[in-house]
Chains A and B, each alone.
Chain A
Amino acid sequence: MIAYFKEVFSGAWAFLQGLAITLRYLFKPSITVPYPTEKLTPYAAFRGILLVDPAKCIACGLCAKACPSTCISLESQVHPETKKRIPKPEWYALDLGRCNFCGLCEAACPTKPKSVWHSLDYEAVFSNRDEMVRCWKPGFPLAGRVWDPRKKDFKDPKGQISVKEMRTRP
Protein backbone atom coordinates (compact mmCIF):
# COMPACT_ATOMS: atom_id res chain seq x y z
CA MET A 1 0.00 0.00 0.00
CA ILE A 2 2.78 2.43 0.97
CA ALA A 3 4.74 1.42 -2.12
CA TYR A 4 1.70 2.14 -4.24
CA PHE A 5 1.27 5.64 -2.88
CA LYS A 6 4.99 6.22 -3.17
CA GLU A 7 4.75 5.38 -6.84
CA VAL A 8 1.78 7.67 -7.33
CA PHE A 9 3.64 10.43 -5.59
CA SER A 10 6.84 9.98 -7.58
CA GLY A 11 4.85 9.94 -10.80
CA ALA A 12 3.02 13.11 -9.85
CA TRP A 13 6.23 14.78 -8.71
CA ALA A 14 7.95 13.99 -12.03
CA PHE A 15 4.90 15.37 -13.78
CA LEU A 16 5.21 18.61 -11.84
CA GLN A 17 8.93 18.82 -12.60
CA GLY A 18 8.14 18.47 -16.29
CA LEU A 19 5.47 21.14 -16.00
CA ALA A 20 7.98 23.45 -14.32
CA ILE A 21 10.14 23.23 -17.45
CA THR A 22 7.28 23.80 -19.83
CA LEU A 23 6.00 26.67 -17.69
CA ARG A 24 9.29 28.50 -18.12
CA TYR A 25 8.88 28.42 -21.88
CA LEU A 26 5.29 29.55 -21.67
CA PHE A 27 6.35 33.12 -20.97
CA LYS A 28 9.03 33.22 -23.65
CA PRO A 29 8.30 34.43 -27.17
CA SER A 30 7.10 31.83 -29.60
CA ILE A 31 9.73 30.26 -31.85
CA THR A 32 7.36 29.25 -34.61
CA VAL A 33 6.40 31.39 -37.58
CA PRO A 34 2.77 31.51 -38.73
CA TYR A 35 3.60 30.46 -42.27
CA PRO A 36 1.34 32.01 -44.87
CA THR A 37 1.34 35.42 -43.25
CA GLU A 38 4.98 35.43 -42.23
CA LYS A 39 7.69 33.85 -44.28
CA LEU A 40 11.26 32.96 -43.51
CA THR A 41 13.94 33.88 -45.99
CA PRO A 42 16.29 30.98 -46.59
CA TYR A 43 20.04 31.40 -46.31
CA ALA A 44 21.98 32.45 -49.37
CA ALA A 45 23.24 28.92 -49.99
CA PHE A 46 19.73 27.48 -50.03
CA ARG A 47 18.89 25.29 -52.97
CA GLY A 48 15.36 26.12 -53.96
CA ILE A 49 13.50 25.88 -57.21
CA LEU A 50 15.67 25.82 -60.31
CA LEU A 51 15.78 28.87 -62.52
CA VAL A 52 17.40 29.30 -65.89
CA ASP A 53 18.69 32.35 -67.68
CA PRO A 54 18.43 31.55 -71.39
CA ALA A 55 20.27 34.74 -72.33
CA LYS A 56 23.36 33.48 -70.54
CA CYS A 57 22.99 29.81 -71.45
CA ILE A 58 25.42 28.46 -74.03
CA ALA A 59 23.47 25.22 -74.51
CA CYS A 60 26.46 23.03 -73.68
CA GLY A 61 24.28 20.43 -72.02
CA LEU A 62 26.59 19.90 -69.03
CA CYS A 63 23.71 20.51 -66.62
CA ALA A 64 21.59 17.88 -68.31
CA LYS A 65 24.51 15.46 -68.09
CA ALA A 66 25.21 16.20 -64.43
CA CYS A 67 21.62 15.73 -63.34
CA PRO A 68 21.06 12.38 -61.61
CA SER A 69 17.37 12.30 -62.46
CA THR A 70 17.24 13.76 -65.99
CA CYS A 71 15.26 16.74 -64.85
CA ILE A 72 16.84 19.08 -67.38
CA SER A 73 16.45 18.84 -71.13
CA LEU A 74 17.46 21.34 -73.76
CA GLU A 75 18.20 21.74 -77.41
CA SER A 76 20.59 24.21 -78.92
CA GLN A 77 19.73 26.47 -81.81
CA VAL A 78 20.86 25.43 -85.24
CA HIS A 79 21.95 27.86 -87.88
CA PRO A 80 19.34 27.68 -90.62
CA GLU A 81 21.86 27.68 -93.48
CA THR A 82 25.08 26.10 -92.27
CA LYS A 83 23.20 23.68 -89.97
CA LYS A 84 25.82 24.34 -87.34
CA ARG A 85 25.09 24.44 -83.65
CA ILE A 86 24.75 27.93 -82.19
CA PRO A 87 25.61 28.25 -78.47
CA LYS A 88 22.08 29.40 -77.65
CA PRO A 89 19.25 27.24 -76.39
CA GLU A 90 16.33 26.66 -78.73
CA TRP A 91 14.31 25.53 -75.77
CA TYR A 92 15.13 24.64 -72.18
CA ALA A 93 12.84 22.56 -69.98
CA LEU A 94 13.03 21.93 -66.25
CA ASP A 95 10.94 19.12 -64.86
CA LEU A 96 10.52 20.14 -61.25
CA GLY A 97 8.73 16.89 -60.54
CA ARG A 98 12.01 15.13 -61.05
CA CYS A 99 14.34 17.66 -59.49
CA ASN A 100 16.39 16.37 -56.57
CA PHE A 101 17.52 19.82 -55.47
CA CYS A 102 21.06 18.48 -55.33
CA GLY A 103 22.83 21.40 -56.96
CA LEU A 104 24.92 19.32 -59.36
CA CYS A 105 23.61 21.18 -62.42
CA GLU A 106 24.52 24.52 -60.91
CA ALA A 107 27.99 23.23 -60.09
CA ALA A 108 28.44 21.92 -63.62
CA CYS A 109 27.34 25.11 -65.37
CA PRO A 110 30.40 26.75 -66.99
CA THR A 111 28.98 30.24 -67.52
CA LYS A 112 29.58 33.17 -65.19
CA PRO A 113 27.22 33.98 -63.61
CA LYS A 114 25.54 30.59 -63.67
CA SER A 115 22.80 30.27 -66.24
CA VAL A 116 21.02 27.56 -64.27
CA TRP A 117 20.83 27.99 -60.54
CA HIS A 118 18.80 27.20 -57.46
CA SER A 119 16.76 30.21 -56.43
CA LEU A 120 15.67 30.87 -52.88
CA ASP A 121 12.08 30.16 -53.81
CA TYR A 122 10.66 27.20 -51.93
CA GLU A 123 6.97 27.60 -52.62
CA ALA A 124 6.20 25.26 -55.45
CA VAL A 125 2.57 24.34 -55.75
CA PHE A 126 1.34 22.42 -58.73
CA SER A 127 -2.13 21.21 -59.48
CA ASN A 128 -1.06 18.62 -62.04
CA ARG A 129 1.98 16.90 -63.39
CA ASP A 130 2.26 19.12 -66.45
CA GLU A 131 2.67 22.24 -64.43
CA MET A 132 5.81 20.80 -62.95
CA VAL A 133 7.48 21.09 -66.32
CA ARG A 134 8.65 24.60 -66.87
CA CYS A 135 9.67 25.11 -70.44
CA TRP A 136 11.46 28.12 -71.73
CA LYS A 137 11.11 29.08 -75.38
CA PRO A 138 11.88 32.37 -77.07
CA GLY A 139 9.08 34.79 -76.37
CA PHE A 140 7.76 32.97 -73.31
CA PRO A 141 8.27 34.16 -69.77
CA LEU A 142 10.32 31.52 -68.00
CA ALA A 143 8.73 30.28 -64.86
CA GLY A 144 5.28 30.74 -66.23
CA ARG A 145 4.03 28.81 -69.21
CA VAL A 146 3.19 25.16 -68.82
CA TRP A 147 2.48 22.63 -71.52
CA ASP A 148 -1.18 21.81 -71.99
CA PRO A 149 -1.38 18.41 -73.64
CA ARG A 150 -5.05 18.83 -74.54
CA LYS A 151 -4.72 22.08 -76.45
CA LYS A 152 -1.18 21.22 -77.55
CA ASP A 153 -0.07 24.64 -76.49
CA PHE A 154 1.59 26.47 -73.66
CA LYS A 155 -0.73 28.12 -71.21
CA ASP A 156 -0.41 30.40 -68.24
CA PRO A 157 -0.54 28.46 -65.01
CA LYS A 158 -2.83 29.62 -62.28
CA GLY A 159 -1.35 31.27 -59.23
CA GLN A 160 2.25 30.68 -60.16
CA ILE A 161 4.75 33.39 -59.38
CA SER A 162 6.39 35.07 -62.30
CA VAL A 163 10.11 35.41 -62.80
CA LYS A 164 10.06 39.03 -61.74
CA GLU A 165 8.67 38.15 -58.34
CA MET A 166 11.32 35.54 -57.70
CA ARG A 167 14.24 36.53 -55.61
CA THR A 168 17.47 37.30 -57.34
CA ARG A 169 20.38 34.97 -57.59
CA PRO A 170 22.44 34.80 -54.38
Chain B
Amino acid sequence: MSINPMNSTPIRSETSGLKTDTLFLNMGPQHPSTHGVLRLGLTISGEVIVEAMPDIGYLHRGVEKLLETRTYAQGVVLADRLDYCSAMSNDLAFCLSVEKLLGAQVPKRAQVLRVIMAELNRIASHLIFFGTYGIDIGAFTPFLYAFREREMVLDLFEMCCGARLTYNYIRPGGVASDINADWIARCREFLDFFKPRLDEYDTLLSFNPIFLVRTQTVGIITPKTAVAWGLSGPNLRASGVNYDVRQAEPYCGYEQYDFTVALGKTGSCWDRYFCRVVEMRQSVRIVEQALSRLASGEIMAKLPKVLRLPAGEAYSHIEASRGDLGVYIVSDGGLAPYRLHFRAPCFINLAILQEILVGKKVADVIAVLGSLDIVLGEVDR
Protein backbone atom coordinates (compact mmCIF):
# COMPACT_ATOMS: atom_id res chain seq x y z
CA MET B 1 0.00 0.00 0.00
CA SER B 2 2.86 2.37 -0.61
CA ILE B 3 1.59 3.68 -3.90
CA ASN B 4 1.66 7.41 -3.71
CA PRO B 5 -0.70 8.86 -6.25
CA MET B 6 1.19 12.12 -6.07
CA ASN B 7 4.07 10.45 -7.85
CA SER B 8 2.04 9.04 -10.70
CA THR B 9 2.75 10.71 -13.99
CA PRO B 10 1.02 10.24 -17.30
CA ILE B 11 2.55 7.58 -19.47
CA ARG B 12 4.40 9.23 -22.30
CA SER B 13 4.71 7.45 -25.58
CA GLU B 14 8.30 8.64 -26.05
CA THR B 15 9.51 6.95 -22.89
CA SER B 16 7.45 3.79 -22.90
CA GLY B 17 7.81 3.13 -26.57
CA LEU B 18 4.10 2.46 -26.82
CA LYS B 19 1.76 4.50 -28.95
CA THR B 20 -0.71 5.95 -26.43
CA ASP B 21 -3.27 8.65 -26.68
CA THR B 22 -5.23 10.65 -24.14
CA LEU B 23 -8.91 10.00 -23.74
CA PHE B 24 -11.63 12.48 -22.95
CA LEU B 25 -13.98 11.15 -20.31
CA ASN B 26 -17.23 12.73 -19.23
CA MET B 27 -18.01 12.24 -15.59
CA GLY B 28 -21.54 13.34 -14.92
CA PRO B 29 -23.78 15.27 -15.08
CA GLN B 30 -25.84 12.23 -14.16
CA HIS B 31 -23.16 10.46 -12.19
CA PRO B 32 -24.45 9.44 -8.77
CA SER B 33 -21.22 10.41 -7.06
CA THR B 34 -21.04 13.95 -8.36
CA HIS B 35 -23.58 14.97 -5.71
CA GLY B 36 -25.99 16.57 -8.10
CA VAL B 37 -25.51 17.69 -11.63
CA LEU B 38 -21.85 18.41 -11.98
CA ARG B 39 -20.01 17.44 -15.11
CA LEU B 40 -16.31 16.78 -14.96
CA GLY B 41 -14.49 16.78 -18.26
CA LEU B 42 -11.52 14.56 -17.61
CA THR B 43 -8.68 14.09 -20.02
CA ILE B 44 -7.04 10.87 -19.02
CA SER B 45 -3.92 9.10 -20.04
CA GLY B 46 -4.42 5.52 -19.07
CA GLU B 47 -5.74 5.84 -15.56
CA VAL B 48 -4.06 9.10 -14.75
CA ILE B 49 -5.78 12.43 -15.14
CA VAL B 50 -4.01 14.96 -17.31
CA GLU B 51 -6.62 17.66 -17.18
CA ALA B 52 -9.85 18.10 -15.27
CA MET B 53 -12.45 20.73 -16.01
CA PRO B 54 -15.50 21.03 -13.80
CA ASP B 55 -18.45 22.10 -15.90
CA ILE B 56 -21.23 23.72 -13.94
CA GLY B 57 -24.51 25.41 -14.68
CA TYR B 58 -26.89 22.47 -14.92
CA LEU B 59 -28.78 23.65 -11.85
CA HIS B 60 -28.69 27.35 -12.59
CA ARG B 61 -31.95 28.95 -11.57
CA GLY B 62 -30.88 32.58 -11.60
CA VAL B 63 -31.63 33.08 -7.94
CA GLU B 64 -29.61 36.29 -7.75
CA LYS B 65 -31.60 37.78 -10.60
CA LEU B 66 -34.90 36.51 -9.18
CA LEU B 67 -34.11 38.18 -5.90
CA GLU B 68 -34.09 41.56 -7.62
CA THR B 69 -37.82 41.20 -8.11
CA ARG B 70 -38.64 39.92 -4.64
CA THR B 71 -39.07 41.80 -1.41
CA TYR B 72 -36.63 41.08 1.38
CA ALA B 73 -39.12 38.90 3.26
CA GLN B 74 -39.63 36.85 0.12
CA GLY B 75 -35.89 36.80 -0.52
CA VAL B 76 -35.33 34.53 2.46
CA VAL B 77 -37.45 31.88 0.75
CA LEU B 78 -35.19 31.93 -2.28
CA ALA B 79 -32.01 32.12 -0.23
CA ASP B 80 -33.18 28.91 1.45
CA ARG B 81 -32.83 27.10 -1.81
CA LEU B 82 -29.16 27.73 -2.44
CA ASP B 83 -27.44 25.31 -0.14
CA TYR B 84 -30.43 23.15 0.62
CA CYS B 85 -28.48 20.97 3.00
CA SER B 86 -27.97 23.87 5.39
CA ALA B 87 -30.70 26.33 4.60
CA MET B 88 -30.45 28.01 7.99
CA SER B 89 -27.01 29.33 7.19
CA ASN B 90 -28.26 30.86 3.97
CA ASP B 91 -31.14 32.53 5.77
CA LEU B 92 -28.76 33.81 8.39
CA ALA B 93 -26.29 35.30 5.92
CA PHE B 94 -29.08 36.95 3.96
CA CYS B 95 -30.78 38.36 7.03
CA LEU B 96 -27.53 39.62 8.57
CA SER B 97 -26.85 41.52 5.39
CA VAL B 98 -30.34 43.02 5.32
CA GLU B 99 -30.07 43.97 8.98
CA LYS B 100 -26.68 45.53 8.44
CA LEU B 101 -28.03 47.81 5.75
CA LEU B 102 -31.14 48.50 7.79
CA GLY B 103 -29.18 49.12 10.98
CA ALA B 104 -31.56 46.87 12.90
CA GLN B 105 -30.73 45.41 16.28
CA VAL B 106 -31.67 41.78 16.73
CA PRO B 107 -32.98 40.82 20.19
CA LYS B 108 -30.73 38.66 22.35
CA ARG B 109 -33.01 35.65 22.40
CA ALA B 110 -33.30 35.69 18.63
CA GLN B 111 -29.52 35.73 18.34
CA VAL B 112 -29.18 32.69 20.59
CA LEU B 113 -31.93 30.94 18.63
CA ARG B 114 -30.10 31.71 15.42
CA VAL B 115 -26.93 30.18 16.80
CA ILE B 116 -28.79 27.06 17.94
CA MET B 117 -30.44 26.59 14.57
CA ALA B 118 -27.33 27.31 12.55
CA GLU B 119 -25.29 24.84 14.57
CA LEU B 120 -27.96 22.14 14.46
CA ASN B 121 -28.09 22.66 10.74
CA ARG B 122 -24.32 22.35 10.58
CA ILE B 123 -24.63 18.99 12.30
CA ALA B 124 -27.32 17.91 9.84
CA SER B 125 -25.27 19.09 6.90
CA HIS B 126 -22.07 17.43 8.05
CA LEU B 127 -24.03 14.25 8.67
CA ILE B 128 -25.00 14.24 5.01
CA PHE B 129 -21.35 14.65 4.16
CA PHE B 130 -20.36 11.87 6.52
CA GLY B 131 -22.92 9.52 5.08
CA THR B 132 -22.39 10.26 1.42
CA TYR B 133 -18.62 10.33 1.69
CA GLY B 134 -18.77 6.85 3.13
CA ILE B 135 -20.81 5.79 0.11
CA ASP B 136 -18.35 7.50 -2.23
CA ILE B 137 -15.52 5.48 -0.74
CA GLY B 138 -17.55 2.29 -0.64
CA ALA B 139 -18.82 2.10 2.93
CA PHE B 140 -22.58 1.98 2.91
CA THR B 141 -23.37 1.44 6.59
CA PRO B 142 -22.36 4.89 7.94
CA PHE B 143 -24.89 6.46 5.59
CA LEU B 144 -27.79 4.77 7.36
CA TYR B 145 -26.51 5.81 10.76
CA ALA B 146 -25.90 9.38 9.67
CA PHE B 147 -29.39 9.73 8.27
CA ARG B 148 -30.95 8.35 11.42
CA GLU B 149 -29.38 11.16 13.42
CA ARG B 150 -30.11 13.72 10.73
CA GLU B 151 -33.75 12.76 10.89
CA MET B 152 -33.77 13.72 14.56
CA VAL B 153 -32.38 17.15 13.75
CA LEU B 154 -34.94 17.58 11.01
CA ASP B 155 -37.67 16.59 13.46
CA LEU B 156 -36.48 19.34 15.76
CA PHE B 157 -36.65 21.79 12.88
CA GLU B 158 -40.08 20.57 11.92
CA MET B 159 -41.32 21.10 15.47
CA CYS B 160 -40.03 24.63 15.53
CA CYS B 161 -40.06 25.98 11.98
CA GLY B 162 -42.61 23.77 10.26
CA ALA B 163 -40.37 22.59 7.46
CA ARG B 164 -37.72 19.97 7.15
CA LEU B 165 -35.42 21.33 4.48
CA THR B 166 -36.20 24.89 3.44
CA TYR B 167 -37.03 26.51 6.71
CA ASN B 168 -37.69 30.20 6.10
CA TYR B 169 -37.13 30.48 9.84
CA ILE B 170 -34.57 33.23 10.22
CA ARG B 171 -36.22 36.43 9.06
CA PRO B 172 -34.91 39.97 8.80
CA GLY B 173 -35.06 41.26 12.37
CA GLY B 174 -35.17 38.00 14.23
CA VAL B 175 -36.63 34.54 13.91
CA ALA B 176 -40.09 33.38 12.89
CA SER B 177 -41.18 31.38 15.90
CA ASP B 178 -40.11 30.74 19.45
CA ILE B 179 -39.14 27.44 20.98
CA ASN B 180 -40.77 25.99 24.06
CA ALA B 181 -39.60 23.89 26.98
CA ASP B 182 -40.62 20.71 25.18
CA TRP B 183 -38.39 21.60 22.25
CA ILE B 184 -35.45 22.31 24.53
CA ALA B 185 -35.93 18.97 26.26
CA ARG B 186 -36.08 17.21 22.90
CA CYS B 187 -32.98 19.04 21.76
CA ARG B 188 -31.01 18.07 24.86
CA GLU B 189 -32.21 14.51 24.41
CA PHE B 190 -30.87 14.55 20.87
CA LEU B 191 -27.51 15.98 21.93
CA ASP B 192 -27.14 13.31 24.61
CA PHE B 193 -27.99 10.67 22.06
CA PHE B 194 -25.70 12.14 19.45
CA LYS B 195 -22.47 12.50 21.41
CA PRO B 196 -21.79 8.77 21.86
CA ARG B 197 -22.79 8.19 18.23
CA LEU B 198 -19.79 10.24 17.13
CA ASP B 199 -17.52 7.66 18.73
CA GLU B 200 -19.37 4.99 16.79
CA TYR B 201 -18.72 6.93 13.61
CA ASP B 202 -15.03 6.93 14.40
CA THR B 203 -15.09 3.15 14.68
CA LEU B 204 -17.28 2.68 11.65
CA LEU B 205 -15.42 4.95 9.31
CA SER B 206 -12.94 7.53 10.59
CA PHE B 207 -10.22 5.17 11.78
CA ASN B 208 -11.03 2.24 9.58
CA PRO B 209 -7.68 1.23 8.03
CA ILE B 210 -9.23 0.66 4.61
CA PHE B 211 -10.79 4.12 4.67
CA LEU B 212 -7.53 5.64 5.89
CA VAL B 213 -5.51 4.11 3.10
CA ARG B 214 -8.08 5.22 0.59
CA THR B 215 -8.15 8.87 1.70
CA GLN B 216 -5.09 9.81 3.72
CA THR B 217 -2.69 10.29 0.84
CA VAL B 218 -5.20 11.52 -1.70
CA GLY B 219 -6.08 15.03 -2.75
CA ILE B 220 -3.53 16.85 -0.67
CA ILE B 221 -4.00 20.62 -0.68
CA THR B 222 -1.16 22.63 0.75
CA PRO B 223 -2.04 25.70 2.83
CA LYS B 224 -0.60 27.92 0.12
CA THR B 225 -2.71 26.36 -2.63
CA ALA B 226 -5.78 26.45 -0.43
CA VAL B 227 -5.43 30.16 0.21
CA ALA B 228 -4.54 30.86 -3.40
CA TRP B 229 -7.77 29.25 -4.62
CA GLY B 230 -9.80 30.99 -1.95
CA LEU B 231 -10.98 27.88 -0.17
CA SER B 232 -12.96 28.35 2.99
CA GLY B 233 -14.63 26.32 5.66
CA PRO B 234 -13.50 22.84 6.62
CA ASN B 235 -11.67 22.50 3.30
CA LEU B 236 -9.39 25.36 4.23
CA ARG B 237 -8.97 24.39 7.84
CA ALA B 238 -8.05 20.84 6.88
CA SER B 239 -4.92 22.32 5.31
CA GLY B 240 -4.03 23.82 8.67
CA VAL B 241 -5.09 27.41 8.00
CA ASN B 242 -6.90 28.68 11.04
CA TYR B 243 -9.65 30.80 9.59
CA ASP B 244 -13.16 30.54 10.91
CA VAL B 245 -15.51 33.47 10.43
CA ARG B 246 -17.15 32.59 13.73
CA GLN B 247 -13.91 33.54 15.45
CA ALA B 248 -12.33 35.93 12.96
CA GLU B 249 -15.40 38.13 12.61
CA PRO B 250 -17.94 36.98 15.18
CA TYR B 251 -21.61 37.48 14.43
CA CYS B 252 -24.72 36.61 16.46
CA GLY B 253 -22.58 36.68 19.59
CA TYR B 254 -20.31 33.80 18.63
CA GLU B 255 -17.48 35.42 20.56
CA GLN B 256 -19.24 34.40 23.79
CA TYR B 257 -19.20 30.72 22.99
CA ASP B 258 -16.39 28.43 23.93
CA PHE B 259 -15.40 26.18 21.06
CA THR B 260 -12.25 25.19 19.25
CA VAL B 261 -11.73 25.29 15.53
CA ALA B 262 -10.91 21.92 14.06
CA LEU B 263 -7.66 22.00 12.12
CA GLY B 264 -6.16 19.37 9.87
CA LYS B 265 -2.49 18.70 9.34
CA THR B 266 -1.82 17.66 5.77
CA GLY B 267 -4.88 18.81 3.87
CA SER B 268 -5.67 15.36 2.56
CA CYS B 269 -9.14 14.00 1.92
CA TRP B 270 -9.10 12.36 5.32
CA ASP B 271 -8.23 15.63 7.02
CA ARG B 272 -11.12 17.35 5.31
CA TYR B 273 -13.36 14.51 6.39
CA PHE B 274 -12.16 14.49 9.95
CA CYS B 275 -12.36 18.27 10.29
CA ARG B 276 -16.08 17.95 9.72
CA VAL B 277 -16.47 15.14 12.22
CA VAL B 278 -14.68 17.24 14.83
CA GLU B 279 -16.80 20.23 13.88
CA MET B 280 -19.92 18.23 14.70
CA ARG B 281 -18.56 17.70 18.19
CA GLN B 282 -17.90 21.41 18.53
CA SER B 283 -21.37 22.23 17.23
CA VAL B 284 -22.84 20.03 19.94
CA ARG B 285 -20.85 22.02 22.47
CA ILE B 286 -22.07 25.32 21.06
CA VAL B 287 -25.70 24.21 21.07
CA GLU B 288 -25.39 23.06 24.68
CA GLN B 289 -23.95 26.41 25.70
CA ALA B 290 -26.59 28.27 23.74
CA LEU B 291 -29.42 26.29 25.32
CA SER B 292 -28.20 27.15 28.79
CA ARG B 293 -27.82 30.80 27.75
CA LEU B 294 -31.36 31.13 26.46
CA ALA B 295 -33.00 34.04 28.29
CA SER B 296 -36.60 35.04 27.85
CA GLY B 297 -37.33 38.01 25.67
CA GLU B 298 -38.42 39.13 22.26
CA ILE B 299 -37.61 37.07 19.19
CA MET B 300 -38.32 39.72 16.60
CA ALA B 301 -37.06 43.28 16.37
CA LYS B 302 -39.63 45.98 15.78
CA LEU B 303 -39.33 46.59 12.07
CA PRO B 304 -41.79 48.14 9.65
CA LYS B 305 -44.06 45.57 8.02
CA VAL B 306 -42.92 46.58 4.56
CA LEU B 307 -39.14 46.53 4.53
CA ARG B 308 -37.63 49.34 2.51
CA LEU B 309 -33.86 49.37 2.78
CA PRO B 310 -31.96 52.65 2.58
CA ALA B 311 -29.94 53.16 -0.56
CA GLY B 312 -26.46 51.78 -0.15
CA GLU B 313 -24.64 48.51 0.01
CA ALA B 314 -23.85 45.96 2.66
CA TYR B 315 -21.81 42.81 2.83
CA SER B 316 -21.88 40.34 5.64
CA HIS B 317 -20.53 36.86 5.78
CA ILE B 318 -20.93 33.90 8.06
CA GLU B 319 -19.34 30.55 8.57
CA ALA B 320 -21.82 28.28 6.85
CA SER B 321 -21.48 24.52 6.93
CA ARG B 322 -19.46 24.54 3.75
CA GLY B 323 -17.41 27.65 4.24
CA ASP B 324 -17.48 31.39 4.16
CA LEU B 325 -20.90 32.37 2.85
CA GLY B 326 -21.27 36.04 2.07
CA VAL B 327 -24.21 38.10 0.88
CA TYR B 328 -23.69 41.41 -0.84
CA ILE B 329 -26.71 43.63 -1.20
CA VAL B 330 -26.88 46.81 -3.23
CA SER B 331 -30.07 48.70 -2.55
CA ASP B 332 -31.47 51.72 -4.35
CA GLY B 333 -33.96 52.40 -1.60
CA GLY B 334 -36.67 50.25 -3.13
CA LEU B 335 -38.61 47.26 -1.89
CA ALA B 336 -36.27 44.80 -3.56
CA PRO B 337 -32.49 44.75 -3.82
CA TYR B 338 -31.04 46.48 -6.85
CA ARG B 339 -28.40 43.78 -7.08
CA LEU B 340 -27.62 40.89 -4.85
CA HIS B 341 -24.69 38.56 -4.89
CA PHE B 342 -23.91 35.43 -2.97
CA ARG B 343 -20.33 34.53 -2.26
CA ALA B 344 -21.04 30.83 -2.36
CA PRO B 345 -18.34 28.72 -0.71
CA CYS B 346 -19.12 25.64 -2.78
CA PHE B 347 -18.61 27.45 -6.05
CA ILE B 348 -15.18 28.63 -4.99
CA ASN B 349 -14.21 25.36 -3.34
CA LEU B 350 -15.11 23.48 -6.49
CA ALA B 351 -12.67 25.40 -8.67
CA ILE B 352 -9.66 23.84 -7.00
CA LEU B 353 -10.59 20.49 -8.56
CA GLN B 354 -8.85 21.44 -11.79
CA GLU B 355 -5.58 21.75 -9.95
CA ILE B 356 -5.65 18.92 -7.44
CA LEU B 357 -7.11 16.29 -9.73
CA VAL B 358 -4.21 16.44 -12.17
CA GLY B 359 -1.95 13.45 -11.71
CA LYS B 360 -4.53 11.47 -9.73
CA LYS B 361 -6.08 8.19 -10.70
CA VAL B 362 -9.63 8.11 -12.00
CA ALA B 363 -10.69 6.14 -8.95
CA ASP B 364 -9.56 8.98 -6.71
CA VAL B 365 -11.71 11.60 -8.43
CA ILE B 366 -14.75 10.66 -6.40
CA ALA B 367 -12.74 10.58 -3.19
CA VAL B 368 -11.44 14.09 -3.84
CA LEU B 369 -14.74 15.48 -5.10
CA GLY B 370 -16.65 13.99 -2.19
CA SER B 371 -14.22 15.40 0.33
CA LEU B 372 -14.82 18.94 -0.94
CA ASP B 373 -18.48 18.50 0.01
CA ILE B 374 -20.17 20.56 -2.64
CA VAL B 375 -23.86 21.24 -3.03
CA LEU B 376 -24.75 22.02 -6.60
CA GLY B 377 -27.65 24.21 -5.58
CA GLU B 378 -25.14 26.66 -4.23
CA VAL B 379 -22.56 26.23 -6.96
CA ASP B 380 -24.95 27.20 -9.72
CA ARG B 381 -27.37 29.38 -7.80
- Give the B-binding residues of A (Cβ under 8 A): 7, 10-11, 14-15, 17-18, 21-22, 31, 42-43, 45-47, 66-69, 100-104, 107, 118
Contact = CB atoms under 8 A, between A and B. Distances in A.
A101 B161 CA distance: 11
A146 to B, nearest CB: 26
Contacts of B200: 21
A43 B141 CA distance: 29
B208 A66 contact: no
B207 A47 contact: no
B168 interface: yes
B158 A102 contact: no
Interface in B148-201: 148, 151, 155, 158-163, 166, 168, 176-177, 200
A68 B204 contact: no
Interface string B351-366: 0000000000000000
Contacts of B228: none
B74 A68 contact: yes
Nearest to A9: B209
5 shortest A-B CB distances, which residue pairs? A68-B74, A45-B162, A47-B162, A102-B77, A102-B168
B203 interface: yes
A118 B166 contact: no
B77 A68 contact: yes
Given A14-B207, A46-B158, 12 more contacts: A15-B210, A18-B141, A18-B203, A21-B200, A31-B148, A42-B158, A43-B155, A46-B163, A69-B77, A100-B168, A102-B166, A103-B163
**Counting chain A CB atoms within 10 Å of each CB, which of B163, B200, B210 scores highest?**
B163
A21 B203 contact: yes
B128 interface: no
B70 interface: yes
A7 B162 contact: no
Contact of B162 (A11, A14, A103): A103
B77 A100 contact: yes
Given A18-B203, A47-B163, A104 B74 contact: yes
Contacts of B158: 42-43, 45-46
B78 interface: yes
Contacts, number: 68
A154 B158 CA distance: 35
Interface string B131-149: 0000000000100000010
Contacts of B3: none
A9 to B, nearest CB: 9
Contact of B168 (A15, A22, A42, A104): A104
B162 A46 contact: yes
A118 B163 CA distance: 11
Nearest to B139: A18
Interface in B61-94: 70, 73-78, 80
A109 B59 CA distance: 33
A45 B164 CA distance: 11
A46 to B, nearest CB: 5
Nearest to B81: A100
A43 B207 contact: no
B1 interface: yes
B179 to A, nearest CB: 11
Contact of A66 (B74, B75, B166, B204): B74
Contacts of A43: 155, 158-159, 162
B210 A11 contact: yes
A17 to B, nearest CB: 5
Nearest to A14: B208
Given A11-B210, A102-B77, A18 B168 contact: no
A17 B201 CA distance: 11
Given A7-B1, A17-B203, A101 B166 contact: yes
8 contacts: A11-B209, A14-B203, A43-B155, A43-B158, A43-B159, A45-B160, A68-B78, A103-B176
A107 B73 CA distance: 11
Contacts of A47: 162-163
